[in-house]
């Protein structure tokens, strides 16, 4: 923890030094000089501030983080600041939406931000990203976002909502958004880069079932009803099963070489399910009952790449119900 704190402190100092640069700490329309290339570009200006916001949040400086978020939002909504920074409202929208996502996350992690307020920001972020993704856009370059970025933000905001709803005792609403995220084809395919969405929504559903049940049996039945295990065993979910540790495949020489040279293996070698490449595979059909399938999911959670606090929360509720079962 001490080493991590040291890194965060250095990161904060570095960003503050960059923001203290004369090109970044003045509103340039107040200066009696000719605009030139030395003016700090808006992309770097807001990138630095959004990064600082994340550093302050991780460093557990909740009040400072939210105060900075307020200042960033005010700047992004100020035509004068945007003109001074050589930007416009179009570019600002993309940054503002990223800020909304960070403020939504604060509803989960920041004690100074209420879950209800975080939920409002998550909904705003979801609505904007979804609307922009669904229409042809000529301003994506200005936002430095692609359709893929917008789709990811659309799904990520659902995950944040799913984690905030239970804090407001809205378990059914949480279930619906997690199911919506898990149903997205992109959430279970490696080439899309969205497997974290699939994993977080899968274990989000497990968490709700455990948190809103009085026994492991009840939780298992809910989880089994909400998750389509037949779909998980299908060819469309091969990447998801591999990310869960249900499938272990050989690493081919071609894949190793492409990774060594920094080439995306899926761009050259389409991901196809070949049984000959499989070293071992867990057969879900061997797990006959809802309780057996829930226990399988809990056994695999240690190998899954989801946020540590989400993993800890799932296991806390699971162990609590397991302990109650032993007492009875």
Mean pLDDT of 161-183: 96
In angstroms, rounded to a whole number, what is the distance separating the alpha carbons of residues 296 and 246? 10
Mean confidence (pLDDT) of the chain: 81
| Residue 50: pLDDT band with limits 50, 70, 90 | confident
Residue 143 confidence (pLDDT): 56
Residue 180 has pLDDT above 90, yes or no: yes
Least Cα distance to 189 among 234, 245, 238 occurs for: 238
* Residues in CB range of 289: below 8 A, 6 or more apart: 220
* pLDDT tens-place string over residues 248-275: 765 544 555 555 555 554 444 445 555 5
* pLDDT tens-place string over residues 54-97: 888 887 888 999 998 998 888 888 777 666 555 556 667 878 88
In angstroms, rounded to a whole number, what is the distance separating the alpha carbons of residues 82 and 18? 19
Residue 96 confidence (pLDDT): 85
* pLDDT tens-place string over residues 94-150: 788 888 999 999 999 888 899 999 999 999 999 999 988 887 765 565 556 678 888
Mean pLDDT of 283-309: 92
Mean pLDDT of 24-28: 51
The domains of the chain are located at: 171-246+282-328
Range in 70-79, 181-190, 193-202 the model is least confident about? 70-79
| Three-state secondary-structure class, residue 6 | helix
89 vs 26: which has the higher pLDDT: 89
Range in 35-49, 78-92, 192-206, 290-304 the model is least confident about? 35-49
Question: DSSP letter at 24?
Answer: T
| Chain position carrying tokens 């989960």 | 108
Neighbour tally for 58: CB within 10 Å: 16
In angstroms, rounded to a whole number, what is the distance separating the alpha carbons of residues 107 and 127? 18
pTM of the model: 0.79
E-assigned strand segments in 174-255: 247-249
18 vs 35: which has the higher pLDDT: 18
């Amino acid at each position: 923890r001490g080493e991590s704190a040291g890194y965060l402190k250095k990161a904060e100092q570095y960003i503050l030094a960059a923001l203290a640069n004369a090109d970044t700490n003045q509103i340039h329309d107040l200066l009696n000089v000719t605009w030139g290339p030395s003016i700090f570009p808006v992309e770097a200006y807001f990138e630095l501030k959004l990064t600082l916001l994340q550093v302050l949040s991780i460093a557990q400086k909740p009040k400072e983080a939210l105060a900075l978020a307020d200042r960033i939002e005010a700047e992004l909504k100020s035509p004068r600041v945007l003109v001074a920074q050589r930007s416009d409202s179009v570019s600002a929208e993309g940054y503002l939406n990223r800020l909304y996502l960070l403020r939504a996350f604060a509803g989960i992690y920041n004690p100074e931000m209420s879950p209800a307020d975080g939920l409002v920001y998550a909904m705003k972020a979801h609505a904007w990203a979804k609307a922009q993704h669904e229409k042809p856009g000529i301003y994506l370059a200005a936002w430095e976002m692609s359709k893929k970025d917008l789709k990811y933000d659309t799904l990520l905001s659902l995950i944040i909502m799913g984690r905030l709803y239970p804090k407001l005792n809205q378990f059914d609403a949480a279930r619906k958004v997690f199911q919506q995220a898990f149903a997205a084809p992109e959430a279970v395919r490696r080439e899309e880069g969205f497997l974290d969405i699939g994993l977080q929504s899968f274990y989000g559903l497990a968490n709700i079932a455990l948190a809103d049940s009085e026994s492991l049996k009840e939780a298992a039945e809910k989880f089994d009803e909400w998750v389509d295990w037949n779909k998980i065993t299908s060819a469309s979910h091969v990447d998801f099963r591999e990310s869960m540790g249900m499938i272990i495949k050989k690493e081919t020489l071609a894949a190793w070489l492409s990774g060594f040279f920094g080439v995306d293996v899926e761009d050259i070698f389409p991901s196809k399910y070949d049984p000959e490449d499989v070293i071992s595979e867990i057969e879900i059909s061997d797990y006959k009952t809802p309780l057996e399938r829930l226990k399988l999911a809990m056994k695999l959670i240690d190998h899954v790449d989801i946020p540590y606090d989400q993993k800890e929360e799932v296991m806390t509720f699971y162990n609590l119900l397991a302990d109650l079962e032993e007492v009875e």
